[in-house]
Structure 1
Amino acid sequence: MRALIFDLDGTLVDTVYAHVFAWQQALAEAGMSIDGWRIHRKIGMSGGLFTRALARELGRSLEPGEARALQDRHGVIFRQLLPERRPLPGAIALLRRLRELEVPHGIATSGRRPEIDPSLRALEIPASTVVIERGDVARAKPEPDLFLACQSRLSVAAEECYVIGDAVWDLLAARRARMMSIGLLTGGYGEDELSGAGAYRVYRDAAELDASLDELGVLP
């Protein structure tokens, strides 16, 4: 049976723009102004990769301590902006349906515990759900490690896995993992961008994906 591996932020929970605002404020407080749209294009990378990408935007390097301070401040602001997480349309129902149908599935996110815990609770998933977070792997997206670790835990061949994500970084990582990918529009990327990054199908949100599972050949 085929398996589904989900990104978290922007795919299942509505957190992308809170992350953008949190990064923008953290950078502004440190005297580094970057346009919000430039930050948005990098959401989905790990924190370390993200800060290196920001350094290129700024035209100067960031010292390790400076990068860590920015990441820590981002986390504080993010939790203030979004103390409660809101699942995206259809996310809870889709995950529940997959459990009922016994379709293998898991979550692979560049986020870390405990920051991701409120999002997991909001999705109402049981403790038995496979969740791979940044601390479980050596490298995060766009490297394939998160998805490969999730695939290994699910005991399904990589070629039988679909990655569901909202950002081009998810789809690039899926290609590197030799997995098919599905794009969702809930993270702010356009259909042409997701298709260009390799998405087999692009759906509006988890609800539309739920209604289209037969197109993926995952129904028993």
Structure 2
Amino acid sequence: MRDFPQAPTPAFLFDLDGTLIDSVYQHVVAWRQALSGMGIDLSVWRIHRRIGMSGGLFVSALLRETGLQLTKEQIDELQTHHAEAYEQQAHSVRPLPGSAELLAELSARGVPWAICTSGYARTARLALGLLGLPENTPMVTRDLVRRAKPDPDLFLAGAALARVEPAHAMVVGDSVWDLLAARRAGALGIGVLSGGYGRDELERAGAFRVYADPADMLDRLDELGVRQSD
């Protein structure tokens, strides 16, 4: 019988906020606090719709809606205030149901994975302890790439860190920005509802499967080609 090439083991690239940890609304409040501190009043729902983008694009998009303009120095200051406000709320952030168990199960099955987040290391690495992960966990933060989501840089870097081709990776995220970046990276997209976006929005953005949260995804790993023997 002829030998055929063996299919590569699937790999996963995880967004962080709203995907592995329940932190989206802490970020929303932190951004609102930072914006208010500079005299910019925006509704919470407008801020939420931009969570998941890089901080610079996030600010630019919101300022476009208000008609205001800020200097580069003011935008940098705004991002610093956001980080400080988020750190004040970090004690209220919790892992999403099943997130630690999902990562542990993938590791036990020998499935490569990495965390890829638009957040800076200053705030993103706070999540490692929450998830019971070591400091050397494969993680790509905004500090390490030229551009963040919706550009594909984070997921391209994550695939390299996991030592897989982007086409062999699946991106797991809670926002349309994750899924747009996944498509641009050439990876499949998986949506989770735990960040506040609806199923229809995620599917329109390119998600080929949508799960309620990491626990739901863990229960259905076979749908993603992860088998007990992997």
CA deviation profile, 1:96-123 (whole Å, cap 9, x unmatched): 1111111111100111112112211111
Are 2:194 and 1:173 aligned? no
Match of 2:218 among 198, 210, 213: 210
Match of 1:21 among 21, 29, 41: 29
Instruction: Report the CA distance shift for 1:167/1:195 in structure 2 as closer, same or farther (over 3 A).
Output: same
Q: What stretches of structure 2 of length at least 5 have no aligned partner?
A: 1-8
- Give the letter for the 2:66 counterpart: L
User: SS state of the match for residue 189, structure 2?
Assistant: strand
Percent identity reads: 50
Alignment of 1:45-84 (within 5 A): 45-83=53-91
Partner of 1:94: 102
Alignment of 1:99-138 (within 5 A): 99-138=107-146
Partner of 2:168: 160
Are 2:39 and 1:31 aligned? yes
**Contact 2:26–2:93 at 8 Å: present in 1 too?**
no
Alignment of 1:2-13 (within 5 A): 2-13=10-21
Q: Let me know the Cα RMSD of the aligned residues.
A: 1.1
User: SS state of the match for residue 172, structure 1?
Assistant: helix
Moved more, 36-45 or 153-162: 153-162
Alignment of 1:140-151 (within 5 A): 140-151=148-159
Match of 2:191 among 173, 183, 189: 183
CA deviation profile, 1:121-176 (whole Å, cap 9, x unmatched): 11112344311111111010000000000101212121110000000000000000
- Give the letter for the 2:48 counterpart: H
- Give the letter for the 1:208 counterpart: D
Q: What stretches of structure 1 of length at least 5 have no aligned partner?
A: none
How far is 1:82 from its partner?
2.4
**Contact 2:35–2:41 at 8 Å: present in 1 too?**
yes
User: SS state of the match for residue 181, structure 1?
Assistant: strand
**Contact 2:102–2:214 at 8 Å: present in 1 too?**
yes
Which structure: larger Rg?
2
**Contact 1:3–1:218 at 8 Å: present in 2 too?**
no
**Contact 1:20–1:43 at 8 Å: present in 2 too?**
yes
CA deviation profile, 1:172-219 (whole Å, cap 9, x unmatched): 000000100100000000000000100010000000000111001022
- Give the letter for the 1:57 counterpart: E
TM-score by length of 2: 0.93
**Contact 2:128–2:134 at 8 Å: present in 1 too?**
no
User: SS state of the match for residue 215, structure 2?
Assistant: helix
TM-score by length of 1: 0.97
Count of residues paired in the alignment: 220
User: SS state of the match for residue 142, structure 1?
Assistant: coil
User: SS state of the match for residue 83, structure 1?
Assistant: helix
